[in-house]
Amino acid sequence: MKAPIPMDTEGTASHAPSSLISPLIAGASCVALFAASSFLFAQTTFSCLSYTSIYYADEDAHHVSAQRRLGSMRGVMISSTLDEREREGEDEAVHIVYGSDEHSIVGVEASIRSVQAHASDPSRLNFYFFGDEALPSLPEVKWFNLTDVAINYDVDSFTNPTYERKGKHKRKDGITINTNAANYIRFIMDDLLPVSAKKALWIDSDTIVRCDVVQMIENTLVDSDYIIAAIPVKGPPLGLTRVHRPNYKDIRWTFNAGVMVVDLEKWRKGKMTEVMRRFALKNREDEIYKYGSQPPLALTFKEDFEHLPENWNVKTQAATEEEVMDACILHWAGASKPWKGEGRHVEIWKSYEALDYSVEDPH
């Protein structure tokens, strides 16, 4: 499967060092051979994770992890330093991933600026943006064409077109949530990020970050058996169809995947991308859930996730003033978006819309 080609701000392909990655299924061992600019990665077939009655071992599935060098950004990453780290098998970068269609690009820009504004060490921030076009106000952030990625990585197989054909789950702006490719980039971060990347933070486009993500990521999934970390939400996952709801009644805590830290090494070893794909395809036959990218994650991991502090994903529409004041990430989940002047606490979002930070966060 082809890896996505990084694009420059004019839409032409950037010339990045190539990587050679060859998956080899060899019992229970992995061998990694490093050359000056090429990697030979040996991926074993790992045993089925305990999560799941929905995990199907696939002896023929090839897992390919593509190395990327995303170059330099405004005060964010020195490319030569990153290249040296990757060649040495070390990675001190903090990897942050966004995906968005054209309707939410302005949200991604504001969110990235908020991350930069509060990071203790901005030089370690490494942003990845997968979208329809480069970020207009942040042209130095490397961009990967969402359409190309969706085709090359068969993103359509993760989607839930069944319920959209029934006319459900469309936002009032007409966007079809269940088949929006940007929502499913989080399922393939292990393939899209450098093989040296140990962890990554996925953040939805409709967020503002007000705390230090560098320290948060460093202190998350440390000496842990969990693959992901997210904010706990009491109750079973939302969006289950009535007939399948009893099958998951034992899930007492779920999570919102709009802010999620992923241990990429464990994700790769568990072949979680294939778990998600097979679950999503099974859903087309059995209609287990109605929604898009959230249920496959929630129903796969169930309660097996590390709990982030709740102030790292505060939904603005239901938050109290105290929760807003204490929030490390504010999340405008739902159809009302702050760049349209909709929803609560729009003034906080607007303080990061300003390119020169001349408008201060009112909280």
pLDDT at 224: 93
What are the tens digits of pLDDT across the range 230-282?
Answer: 999 998 888 888 888 898 888 999 999 999 999 999 999 999 999 999 988 99
169 backbone φψ class: left, alpha, beta (φ>0; ψ -120 to 50): left
Does residue 32 lie in a domain region? yes
| 313: its two tokens | 């994903």
Q: Please, what sign has the CA dihedral across residues 186, 306, 85, 139?
A: positive
Does residue 359 lie in a domain region? no
Enter the DSSP assignment of 265. Answer: H
3-state helix, strand, coil in the chain (%, to 5): 35, 15, 50
Q: Range of 224's domain?
A: 6-353
Residues 6+ apart with CB under 8 A from 164: 170, 176, 177, 178, 179
| 114: its two tokens | 């908020």
| 162: its two tokens | 């069944």
Higher pLDDT, 30 or 209: 209
Higher pLDDT, 214 or 84: 214
Res 3 pLDDT > 80: no
pTM of structure: 0.73
d(CA 336, CA 153) in angstroms, rounded, equals 30
What are the tens digits of pLDDT across the range 298-323?
Answer: 989 999 999 999 999 999 999 999 99
Confidence of residue 66 (pLDDT cuts 50, 70, 90): very low
Does residue 358 lie in a domain region? no
CATH number, position 244: 3.90.550.10
Question: What is the count of structural domains for the chain?
Answer: 1
Closest-CA residue to 261 (of 303, 306, 223): 306
Instruction: Assess contact for 68 and 192: CB atoms under 8 A.
Output: yes
d(CA 323, CA 308) in angstroms, rounded, equals 15
Instruction: Assess contact for 330 and 343: CB atoms under 8 A.
Output: no
Instruction: Assess contact for 214 and 94: CB atoms under 8 A.
Output: yes
Res 16 pLDDT > 80: no
Does residue 285 lie in a domain region? yes
What are the tens digits of pLDDT across the range 102-143?
Answer: 889 999 999 999 999 999 999 999 999 999 999 999 988 989
Does residue 361 lie in a domain region? no
